[in-house]
Structure 1
């Protein structure tokens, strides 16, 4: 065997180990433990492909599990807020356990709405997945997230899980959210959406679980520490206040979670997805199995852009 043939064989073997079954890179091309922007994009696309093609039941149940996990975040945040009351550094101590629910979600691969402002949108921007397909994922996942959060809030409001101090703190957090001006919540939500979608992009740039846990913890910690808002946490808190009899349902939802939802969506889609998308070459790990959708298909029909979908 010539040295040239040997080199080709070595390259083929290396490519086999350096790529996942989806075709997405499992190691960096230039430096094995560091991905380029295009390689991160391909890894995001591989994740998005799973989400867009997932059955409705799977998406909803995964979203429901994420909603339950966010209940942990709400529970720990209210409990720590009560425990840190009167301490000078309360603003930094109270959020210490806030990221726990998000760690469950990222490591457990549950579906969270704010994650999906990045992953499936990358496919839609290149017209290999239709807008209705992305909206389908958003609606199903958000419904699951909010259902899980509502169930968690109901349990916390009607059992003795919360201490009396934590229950009071939870109501105060929700009431403060409702009293915050609508547009302030939108912009707070934008920054939080920016953080979460950016975290998802960075999460696709790391290769081990320890790095993911550290990344998730540090990024998510900044949300409560800086007074920002996440839609599922805000919804859970608002519904808890309703179940506690402190506010009406319509007032609580319109004045708190709704503007946060608008902000999270704008922050994730505009500030992260569009900017990160703009700096890539839009290469797909399975380019030969995809086709660009027509404008009609992209806007009005449910397509994933796979070649087999057209057969």
Structure 2
């Protein structure tokens, strides 16, 4: 009897042990399944990240986009280009308006050199209006129009003709804005003519080689801005890029031909010491410098990198 009970207990023990073993096996199997599922999720995550990277704009994609943008400008009616560039000259005037208002507000209470640095905060407004509004601005068009030439689609002469139209419109628009704001700013208590004189002479009264090299740097930055803007369609991102690049130009005090036109023309209007020849020489230096910075430093180098990568 005792022996029979002992056998029963042994069988029961084996059942319990077997049951525990089954539970452990089941748990192990569940852990393996969960591990596999986690691995699958991780793999999917990696694939999605890889796809996002591959879907992003590569170097050649950005270049193609800029070239296509340039081709569209070449194909536009020349009258519409002139009107668009004149509007750009007027719109960029709002940067000049803020610069003058800021100088007038702080002059006498803040050191002038600090005020000039603060121009970086006021500088971007006109550029944001022009670029997001798709108006034709010379310094934004330099590398855009140079790339179709480098790609063999257009001639240098065609590029120079469009440049000439855009520059003419930008200068006309800028001069009109200075005449308008010069007549109304004092009445609105925004700033006076002496403010326009001080800002203009500050820009012009520098050695010619300094102005020229400064203009190349400004053209370089504007060419890079055009390149960067073609990497994104997000409005907020584009505004940030415009603010950073043009704000840097304003903060450092680099010479931008179209804003510089307003500054120099303001000095010409209200100064006995600034002559028309000074104004023309200044414009010539900054236009050539901006053109070199945008077309050669950015356009040529970017295209050359593309050619090397394609070999």
Match of 1:47 in 2: 69
Shift of 1:178: 2.2
How has the CA–CA distance of structure 1 residues 64 and 165 changed in structure 2, closer, same or farther, with 3 Å as cutoff? closer
How has the CA–CA distance of structure 1 residues 204 and 282 changed in structure 2, closer, same or farther, with 3 Å as cutoff? farther
The answer to whether residue 143 in structure 2 is matched with residue 121 in structure 1 is no
* Mapped partners of 1:48, 1:164: distance in 2: 39
Name which of structure 1's ranges 85-94 and 143-152 shifts more when overlaid on structure 2.
Answer: 85-94
The answer to whether residue 249 in structure 2 is matched with residue 226 in structure 1 is no
The answer to whether residue 235 in structure 2 is matched with residue 213 in structure 1 is no
Provide the TM-score with structure 1 as the length reference.
0.76
Q: Which structure's CA Rg is the greater one? A: 2
Match of 1:71 in 2: 93
Contact 1:171 1:241 in 2 (8 A): yes
Shift of 1:31: 3.1
How has the CA–CA distance of structure 1 residues 204 and 170 changed in structure 2, closer, same or farther, with 3 Å as cutoff? same
The answer to whether residue 207 in structure 2 is matched with residue 185 in structure 1 is no
Runs of 4 or more consecutive aligned structure 1 residues displaced over 6 Å after TM superposition: none
Contact 2:88 2:135 in 1 (8 A): yes
* Mapped partners of 1:165, 1:150: distance in 2: 18
* Mapped partners of 2:281, 2:191: distance in 1: 25
Q: 1:37 is matched with which residue: 59, 79, 83? A: 59
Contact 2:194 2:270 in 1 (8 A): no
* Mapped partners of 1:66, 1:165: distance in 2: 23
How has the CA–CA distance of structure 1 residues 240 and 208 changed in structure 2, closer, same or farther, with 3 Å as cutoff? same
Shift of 1:30: 4.7
* Mapped partners of 1:249, 1:140: distance in 2: 25
| Long gaps (5+) in structure 1 | 1-27, 284-311
Provide the TM-score with structure 2 as the length reference.
0.76
Give the secondary structure class of the aligned counterpart of 1:252: helix
* Mapped partners of 2:185, 2:110: distance in 1: 25
1:178-223 deviation per Cα after TM superposition (whole angstroms, max 9, x unaligned): 2111111001101100011110011101121111111001100011
Q: 1:263 is matched with which residue: 281, 285, 289? A: 289
1:19-70 deviation per Cα after TM superposition (whole angstroms, max 9, x unaligned): xxxxxxxxx98533x3111010011011111101111111001100100011
- Please state which structure has a larger fraction of its residues in helix: 2
| Long gaps (5+) in structure 2 | 1-50
The answer to whether residue 115 in structure 2 is matched with residue 93 in structure 1 is no
Contact 2:185 2:192 in 1 (8 A): no
State the Cα RMSD in Å. 2.2
1:150-194 deviation per Cα after TM superposition (whole angstroms, max 9, x unaligned): 101111222335647453232112112221111110011011000
Q: How does 1:1-311 map to 2 (within 5 A)?
A: 30-32=53-55, 34-85=56-107, 86-87=109-110, 89-160=114-185, 163=189, 165-281=191-307
